[in-house]
């Protein structure tokens, strides 16, 4: 390889050490160009004509990457790698997912024709594109740099990209055997695809990976399962761990991307994988970056388990304290440099630790005794309410997510003449409250929320006609929806049914509704009341944006606004300028009537 990186051989040695839990690698994921003397005279390509060319034209990308690397800083252990990413998890696109080029990234949308059949079609255009892109880049690179392996991904994340996250989470409960089978099919295809791409990009037997930019003297990959923040440790051990283990066994060098505090409960299961070499830590939104003291214990734990660590977005100020605390063996630092002077400062610091290494004791930690990051696998147990012997099974069925049972008990209760309000308020809503509490306590996970939601919805359908009442005249028109970013619809639908039952004409515009859609619906239907629901503290603030949009459209004066949902309260409703608030579906009707009483 006649590379543009002058110290590539030293960097390779440092990588080999790092994979073996020794020494420090100092790298930067994205390159910078400021003040860099070009490594070759390469002209910049014409700007892309559109996003399609920017991402999906192999020749344009090869030309651009050639120019980009020729002008990038390659000091320290910064790797000369062409970033050939085709979106996060591009194996999903090879298996039928749909590409869309965005400004800064590529989106992969679910396969609209997905039928639970996972098949590899060697003629699929997205597969051909992968190969053409890598071949074009390899020809252009001409040995000056590596052509990186795209971020194919694997396992649950790929399946979620193919058929949707909720469907995969439900599968963990409803068709676990099918899910296991699909994981194995994805792994089998992954190895085939990986090997074929490896043959295109390898330099002798070496390769580099695009994501997090790492190099290895053999086959290497980055593994992940971001969706697993939403599943229990038992499910992780069943649906994720075996397939990651197989990848670690078949691929020489493996780095697991651990994403966010919500994923930490799976660390023990990851550390159990003997063949896994390294773990990369991404702290996630709202958390300090990888150089913060907050993560020292996590790094020590990983190192103590015999794995190397990759700490990301470390700043110069954090570097010394980080190495003082976790030691200088098996540490890969991804830093956020802006110019060469910063790189040189970091290199001087690293130098001190490299020479200190022999005396320095590596962090010590007894994996078995440390319980901070370990959580116990807790099974959902059903719980009995005391209010009515006959209806207690309804509460239990919803908590356990058993829709058929919930429907059967509800049918029986209806036949026996139990009032729908009693069924809803005393059993269904309380059961959802219990599931929510378990979720908050880390005893239930998203699949359990989904199952409970499904059970409640199923049973609620039977009660709907009874809620519809006999009103023959329309009191007023209501547009109702759950705000943008929020997918909870059970409470909103209940409010809608109650309003309908009491004589309102209700236009239910669904979940995840953006402000312009609310405004459009109010305008189109000439609504008297706009009802907004939100169940998340992070989405309730969006209600204000909808009100502002109504003001801006000049419609605010002609429509009353009512808000509700678990985190919403009267004060909040007043602050954002709503006209009414209700904390439950029954009083929502009274509030709605009162609001119209004021206008009519
Ligand atoms: Co989610 N979820 N959820 N969830 N979920 C909550 C809301 C949560 C409180 C659980 C918890 O931590 N204890 C928590 C929110 C924490 C917070 O923001 N402070 C939470 C979270 C964190 C999440 C996710 C972020 C989890 C994750 O992915 N890591 C994720 C977010 C997805 C998203 O929206 N972007 C998520 C996902 C889901 C599922 C999709 C799995 C599922 C929803 C299924 C569905 O709706 N189709 C779900 C469920 C089921 C819940 C719980 C368990 C139950 C919600 C419910 O249906 N309650 C919930 C915990 C809980 O509420 N106890 C929880 C029954 C329903 C009848 O009550 O909706 O409150 P509710 O409606 C009431 C009143 O609020 C009022 O009347 C209704 C009837 O009396 N009301 C109005 C509602 N809207 C109104 C409008 C009005 C007036 C009254 O006027 C306009």
Q: What digits encode the pLDDT tens for the residues 260-287?
A: 999 999 999 999 999 999 999 999 878 9
Predicted local distance difference test score (pLDDT) of residue 380: 27
Q: Would you say the CB of residue 432 lies under 6 angstroms from ligand 1? A: yes
Residue 520 pLDDT > 90: yes
3-state secondary structure of 506: strand
Give residue-wise pLDDT tens across range 240-251.
999 999 999 999
Q: What confidence category does residue 363 fall into, taking pLDDT thresholds of 50, 70 and 90?
A: very low
Residue 536 Cα to ligand 1 middle (Å)? 7
Q: For a ligand 1 pocket test, name from 230, 449, 499 the mutation site with the most ligand atoms within 8 angstroms of its C-beta.
A: 449
Q: Would you say the CB of residue 563 lies under 6 angstroms from ligand 1? A: yes
Q: Would you say the CB of residue 306 lies under 6 angstroms from ligand 1? A: no
Q: Would you say the CB of residue 573 lies under 6 angstroms from ligand 1? A: no
Shortest-distance Cα residue to atom 16 of ligand 1: 536
**Which whole number is the average pLDDT over 219-231?**
95
**Which whole number is the average pLDDT over 118-141?**
97
Q: What confidence category does residue 375 fall into, taking pLDDT thresholds of 50, 70 and 90?
A: very low
Atom of ligand 1 nearest to the CA of 562: 91
**Residues 169 and 239 sit within 8 Å (Cβ to Cβ):** no
Q: For a ligand 1 pocket test, name from 488, 490, 543 the mutation site with the most ligand atoms within 8 angstroms of its C-beta.
A: 488
Q: Which residue has the higher pLDDT, 358 or 193?
A: 193
**Which whole number is the average pLDDT over 349-375?**
48
Q: Would you say the CB of residue 261 lies under 6 angstroms from ligand 1? A: no
Residue 438 Cα to ligand 1 middle (Å)? 13
Shortest-distance Cα residue to atom 14 of ligand 1: 536
Predicted local distance difference test score (pLDDT) of residue 441: 83
Q: Would you say the CB of residue 485 lies under 6 angstroms from ligand 1? A: yes
**Which whole number is the average pLDDT over 482-511?**
88
| 565: alpha, beta or left? (left if phi > 0; alpha if psi -120 to 50) | left
Q: Would you say the CB of residue 510 lies under 6 angstroms from ligand 1? A: no
Residue 381 pLDDT > 70: no
Residue 77 pLDDT > 80: yes
Q: Which residue has the higher pLDDT, 348 or 30?
A: 348
Predicted local distance difference test score (pLDDT) of residue 474: 76
Residue 8 Cα to ligand 1 middle (Å)? 53
**Which whole number is the average pLDDT over 91-98?**
95
Dihedral through CA 156, CA 162, CA 165, CA 168, nearest 10? Answer: -60
Residue 533 Cα to ligand 1 middle (Å)? 10
Q: Would you say the CB of residue 401 lies under 6 angstroms from ligand 1? A: no
Residue 382 pLDDT > 50: no
Question: How far apart are the C-alpha atoms of 24 and 425, rounded to whole Å?
Answer: 60
Atom of ligand 1 nearest to the CA of 531: 91
Residue 103 pLDDT > 70: yes
3-state secondary structure of 469: coil
pTM higher than 0.75 for the full model? no
Q: What confidence category does residue 499 fall into, taking pLDDT thresholds of 50, 70 and 90?
A: confident
Atom of ligand 1 nearest to the CA of 452: 50
Residue 491 Cα to ligand 1 middle (Å)? 8
- The fraction of the chain above a pLDDT of 70, given in percent, is 92
The pair of three-digit structure tokens given for residue 100, joined into one six-digit string: 């869309």
Q: For a ligand 1 pocket test, name from 427, 433, 535, 564 the mutation site with the most ligand atoms within 8 angstroms of its C-beta.
A: 535
Residue 436 pLDDT > 60: yes
Shortest-distance Cα residue to atom 83 of ligand 1: 565
Residue 436 Cα to ligand 1 middle (Å)? 8
**Residues 485 and 535 sit within 8 Å (Cβ to Cβ):** no
Shortest-distance Cα residue to atom 81 of ligand 1: 565
Residue 432 Cα to ligand 1 middle (Å)? 9
Output b/e per residue, 60-79; b: 16+ Cβ within 10 A: bbbbbbbbbbbbbbbbbbbb
Neighbouring-strand partners of residue 481:
532
Helix (H) or strand (E) holding 343: helix 340-356
Predicted local distance difference test score (pLDDT) of residue 425: 83
Residue 542 Cα to ligand 1 middle (Å)? 16
CA nearest to 150, candidates 221, 206, 216, 57: 221
Q: Would you say the CB of residue 429 lies under 6 angstroms from ligand 1? A: yes
The mean of the pLDDT values for the chain is 90
Residue 572 Cα to ligand 1 middle (Å)? 18
The pair of three-digit structure tokens given for residue 490, joined into one six-digit string: 């059970």
Task: Give the list of residues 6+ apart from residue 548 with CB closer than 8 angstroms, or none.
Answer: 515
Q: Would you say the CB of residue 595 lies under 6 angstroms from ligand 1? A: no
CA nearest to 137, candidates 90, 80, 96: 80
Shortest-distance Cα residue to atom 67 of ligand 1: 491
Phi, psi of 179 (to 5 degrees): -60, -45
Residue 597 pLDDT > 80: yes
Predicted local distance difference test score (pLDDT) of residue 239: 97
**Which whole number is the average pLDDT over 10-22?**
95
DSSP of 216-260: ESS-EEEEE-GGGGGS-HHHHHHHTHHHHHHHHHHSSEEEEEEES
Q: For a ligand 1 pocket test, name from 566, 572, 576, 583 the mutation site with the most ligand atoms within 8 angstroms of its C-beta.
A: 566
Residue 557 pLDDT > 80: yes
Predicted local distance difference test score (pLDDT) of residue 465: 82
Residue 370 pLDDT > 70: no
Residue 535 Cα to ligand 1 middle (Å)? 5
Q: What confidence category does residue 357 fall into, taking pLDDT thresholds of 50, 70 and 90?
A: low
Question: How far apart are the C-alpha atoms of 38 and 68, rounded to whole Å?
Answer: 10
**Number of Cβ atoms within 10 Å of the Cβ of 82:** 27
Q: For a ligand 1 pocket test, name from 406, 464, 491, 546 the mutation site with the most ligand atoms within 8 angstroms of its C-beta.
A: 491
Predicted local distance difference test score (pLDDT) of residue 388: 61
Question: How far apart are the C-alpha atoms of 476 and 469, rounded to whole Å?
Answer: 16
Residue 527 pLDDT > 70: yes
Residue 255 pLDDT > 70: yes
Residue 366 pLDDT > 80: no
Give residue-wise pLDDT tens across range 78-89.
999 999 999 999
Predicted local distance difference test score (pLDDT) of residue 469: 58
Would you say how long the chain is, in residues? Answer: 600
CA nearest to 159, candidates 142, 141, 145, 172: 172
Give residue-wise pLDDT tens across range 157-212.
999 999 989 899 999 999 999 999 999 999 999 999 999 999 999 999 999 999 88
Atom of ligand 1 nearest to the CA of 538: 18
Q: What confidence category does residue 156 fall into, taking pLDDT thresholds of 50, 70 and 90?
A: very high
**Residues 25 and 213 sit within 8 Å (Cβ to Cβ):** no
**Number of Cβ atoms within 10 Å of the Cβ of 331:** 26
Predicted local distance difference test score (pLDDT) of residue 368: 29
Domains of the chain: 10-360 (3.20.20.210), 380-472 (1.10.1240.10), 474-600 (3.40.50.280)
Residue 68 pLDDT > 90: yes
The pair of three-digit structure tokens given for residue 434, joined into one six-digit string: 């219990």
Q: Would you say the CB of residue 436 lies under 6 angstroms from ligand 1? A: yes
Q: What confidence category does residue 361 fall into, taking pLDDT thresholds of 50, 70 and 90?
A: very low
Q: What confidence category does residue 115 fall into, taking pLDDT thresholds of 50, 70 and 90?
A: confident
Cα 308 versus chain centre, distance: 24
**Which whole number is the average pLDDT over 251-264?**
95
């Amino acid at each position: 390889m006649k590379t543009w990186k002058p110290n590539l051989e030293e960097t390779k040695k440092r990588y080999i050490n790092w994979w073996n839990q020794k020494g420090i690698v100092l790298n930067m994921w994205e390159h910078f160009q400021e003040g860099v003397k070009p490594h070759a005279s390469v002209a910049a390509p014409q700007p892309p004509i559109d996003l399609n060319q920017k991402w999906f034209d192999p020749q344009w990308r090869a030309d651009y990457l050639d120019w980009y690397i020729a002008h990038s800083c390659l000091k320290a252990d910064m790797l000369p790698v062409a970033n050939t990413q085709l979106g996060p998890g591009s194996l999903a696109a090879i298996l039928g997912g749909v590409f869309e080029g965005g400004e800064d990234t590529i989106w992969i949308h679910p396969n609209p024709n997905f039928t639970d059949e996972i098949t590899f079609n060697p003629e699929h255009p997205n597969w051909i594109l992968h190969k053409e892109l890598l071949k074009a880049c390899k020809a252009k690179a001409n040995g000056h740099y590596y052509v990186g392996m795209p971020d194919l991904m694997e396992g649950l994340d790929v399946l979620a990209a193919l058929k949707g996250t909720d469907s995969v989470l439900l599968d963990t409960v409803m068709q676990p055997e099918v899910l296991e089978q699909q994981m194995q099919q994805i792994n089998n295809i992954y190895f085939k695809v990986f090997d074929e791409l490896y043959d295109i990009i390898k330099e002798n037997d070496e390769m580099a990976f695009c994501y997090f930019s790492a190099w290895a003297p053999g086959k290497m990959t980055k593994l992940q399962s971001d969706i697993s923040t939403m599943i229990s440790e038992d499910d992780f051990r069943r649906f994720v761990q075996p397939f990651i283990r197989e990848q670690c066994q078949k691929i020489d060098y493996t780095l697991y991307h651990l994403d966010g505090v919500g994923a930490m409960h799976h660390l023990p299961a990851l550390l159990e994988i003997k063949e896994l070499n390294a773990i990369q830590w991404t702290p996630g939104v709202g958390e300090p970056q990888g150089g913060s003291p907050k993560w020292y214990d996590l790094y020590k734990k990983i190192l103590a388990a015999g794995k190397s660590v990759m700490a990301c977005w470390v700043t110069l100020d954090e570097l010394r304290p980080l190495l003082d605390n976790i030691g200088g063996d098996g540490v890969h630092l991804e830093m956020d440099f802006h110019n060469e002077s910063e790189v040189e400062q970091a290199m001087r610091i690293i130098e001190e630790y490299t020479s200190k290494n022999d005396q320095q004791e590596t962090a010590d930690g007894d994996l078995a005794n440390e319980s901070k990051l370990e959580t116990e696998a807790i099974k959902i147990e059903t719980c009995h309410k005391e209010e009515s012997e006959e209806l207690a099974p309804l509460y239990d069925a919803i908590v356990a997510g058993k829709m058929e049972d919930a429907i059967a008990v509800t049918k029986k209760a209806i036949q026996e003449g139990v009032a729908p309000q009693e069924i809803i308020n005393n059993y269904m809503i309380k059961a959802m409250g219990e599931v929510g509490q378990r979720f908050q306590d880390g005893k239930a996970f998203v699949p359990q929320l989904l199952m409970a939601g499904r059970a409640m919805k199923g049973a609620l359908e039977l009660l709907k006609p009874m809620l519809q009442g006999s009103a023959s005249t329309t009191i007023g028109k209501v547009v109702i929806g759950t705000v943008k970013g929020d997918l909870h619809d059970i409470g909103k639908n209940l409010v809608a049914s109650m309003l309908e039952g009491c004589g309102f004409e209700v236009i239910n515009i669904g979940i995840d509704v953006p402000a312009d859609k609310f405004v459009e619906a109010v305008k189109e239907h000439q609504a008297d009341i706009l009802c907004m629901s939100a169940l998340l503290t992070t989405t309730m603030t969006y209600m204000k944006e909808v009100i502002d949009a109504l003001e801006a459209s000049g419609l605010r004066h002609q429509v009353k606004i009512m808000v509700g949902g678990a985190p919403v309260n009267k004060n909040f409703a007043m602050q954002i300028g709503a006209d009414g608030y209700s904390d439950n579906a029954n009083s929502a009707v009274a509030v709605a009537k009162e609001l119209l009483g004021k206008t009519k």
